Amino acid sequence: MATAQKKKESAQSLTENYRSTDSMSYFSNSTSNKSKRNGSSSISVKNNKTMYKFRASFNDEITADVRDFLQMKFKDLKFSNTNQTTFWTIVKNKEEAFSCKLNEGYVRIYADKEMISKGFQEKLKAIGEELKYVINGEAMRGANDARKEVAKRRLAHAKREYERAKRYYEKTTKVK
């Protein structure tokens, strides 16, 4: 019983909302892991033909983990630190082509796709995907496996409900 309850709580901690259109997508996730990632996180991603934008707010205690991750991923870019804020930027023709700003509990990434290479665009998209897992304290593989397991359970439940409804329909139509 205790193991089943833990699995149920684990599945509930992966509560996700995802909406997508042709030009943009948004992702938000709330977690309740019993670690320094207590509380909730909010992640928003906008990705269209002209820009890429990633915004996230999270528990202040994981800012160092996020900073370490970003420093590793943007190791080729210059960065600056000012009053507990870390900035990475790329300026082309006196215009900001890329910026990443990290404060305590908040990160914002912006890129003008018309000013950066396709390769850098793909790199940003991959970094954004990984950053979701860093913020939520999940391993990418483990989180994907957990989501697949939840989807399998939901599918099995839907199939059972379908069979139940089908039997009910057949029962009620035979009576006439």
Check pLDDT > 90 for residue 101: yes
pTM for the full model? 0.61
- The answer on 175 and 120 residing in a single domain is no
Q: Is the dihedral angle over the CA atoms 43, 35, 143, 152 positive or is it negative?
A: negative
Residue 81 binned pLDDT confidence (cut-offs 50, 70, 90): confident
Domain extent, residue 75, equals 2-138
Most distant CA atoms of the chain, gap in Å? 78
Check pLDDT > 50 for residue 6: no
- The answer on 43 and 123 residing in a single domain is yes
- The answer on 154 and 127 residing in a single domain is no
pLDDT at residue 124 in the model: 95
pLDDT at residue 139 in the model: 62
The pLDDT tens digits of the residues spanning 49-70 come to 999 999 999 999 899 999 999 9
- The answer on 59 and 106 residing in a single domain is yes
The three-state secondary structure class of 171 is: helix
More confident residue, 43 or 145: 43
Single-letter code of the amino acid located at 70: L
pLDDT at residue 102 in the model: 96
Q: In Å, how far from its chain's centre is CA 99?
A: 19
29's enclosing H/E stretch is strand 25-29
DSSP per-residue string spanning 101-142? EEETTEEEEEEETTTS-HHHHHHHHHHHHHHHHHHHT--HHH
- The answer on 108 and 146 residing in a single domain is no
